[in-house]
Amino acid sequence: MTKEPAIRVRDLVKKFGSFTANDKLTFEVHQGEIFGFLGANGAGKTTAIKILCGLTAPTSGEVYVTGCNVAIQPEKVKKNIGYMSQRFSLYDDMTVAENIWFYAGIYGMDRQQIRGRISQLLSEMGISHIRNTLIRDIPIGWKQKLAFLVAVFHDPPLVFLDEPTAGVDPLARRQFWELIYQYAARGKTVFVTTHYMDEAEYCDRVCILSEGRIAALGTPNELKKLWNARSVEDVFLRIARPNHNKN
């Protein structure tokens, strides 16, 4: 039997007034892959990810996530996905454990489950000692990891990460990608946006967005071969160059 893709998007269009943020996006994301969504700032990455999560309604087009139509069954989709927003979304005035309890609670997990998983995951990540520290008092690298932990705490088959490594140092970025690999290794699908091109090399497949359209889609190697480039960064620059001044 053929596996239903984790995400299936056809002719997705999103307009804000006369501005077209997403222009006829069509792509599929397979189950268990790390799918990179690349693009310059303003290319429409965040808009697309919000539509896939059911946070924003598309102007037109079909979006299926984990087999459900987002427009028709948004709540069913939400049970199956995790989302880490570009804007940091943990509560500053609550501790690590309190934040996790809250989000796990509104995902409908029961207390027994939460209690066990908190200890397990925090120790796996090596941050058990900050369990009762307020979020505002911990360094940004750890905050990012915690935001990831909150996004996947209910163990969804698909997780969306919107620029998860923005603003953190290279070491913390590397560590963060290890978390992503560990998660994908368990057969989960990861949809990640970034504008760090070195991170694109870590993805199974990448999709490069430019001015709301898909400019390239394939494995990093395919793209490099196709564009005759040494790295994904080169590919990106070649795509971006004609419109260099506009960005």
Partner 1 sequence: MQRILFIIRKEFLQIFRNRFMVPIIFVVPVVQLIILVNAATLEMKNIRISIVDNDNSSVSHGLSDHIVHSPFFKFVPQEGNNLNLALRRMEKDQTDAILVFPDRFSESIHKGQPADLQLLINAINGMKAGITSSYVAQIIRNYFASSANELNVNASVQPGKTIHQVRISPLFWYNPELNYKIFMVPAILVILVTLTGALLAGLNLVREKEMGTIEQINVTPIGKFEFLAGKLIPFLIIALAELAFGLVMGKILFRIPILGSLLLLFGVVVVYLILVQSLSLLISTVSNTQQQAMFLIFFFMLIFIMTSGIFTPVESMPVIAQKLDWLNPVFYLMRMIRMILLKGSTLKDILPYILPMTGYAATMFLIAVRAYRKTT
75 versus 228: smaller Cβ distance to partner 1: 75
Residues 6+ apart with CB under 8 A from 115: none
- Closer residue to partner 1, CB minimum distance, 93 or 242: 93
Q: How far is the CB of 126 from partner 1 (least distance, A)?
A: 24
Q: Which positions touch partner 1 (CB under 8 A)?
A: 50, 53-57, 74-76, 78-79, 81, 83, 85, 87-91, 93-94, 98, 101-103, 105-108, 110, 150
191 and 37 Cβ atoms separated by less than 8 Å: yes
Bridge partners (DSSP) of residue 193 are 37, 162
Min dist CB 227 to partner 1, Å, is: 35
Contact 173, 15 (CB under 8 A): no
Least distance to partner 1, CB of residue 197, Å: 26
Nearest distance from residue 169's CB to partner 1, in Å? 23
- 60 burial level (CB within 10 Å; 0-12, 13-18, 19+): exposed
Among residues 95 and 231, whose Cβ is nearest to partner 1? Answer: 95
Coil/strand/helix, residue 13: strand
Q: Nearest Cα to 96, choosing from 137, 148, 135, 39? A: 135
Which residue's CB is nearer to partner 1, number 91 or number 181?
91
Distance of alpha carbon 207 from alpha carbon 36, whole angstroms? 6
Alpha carbon distance 117, 187 (integer Å): 19
Cβ at position 97, least distance to partner 1 in Å: 11
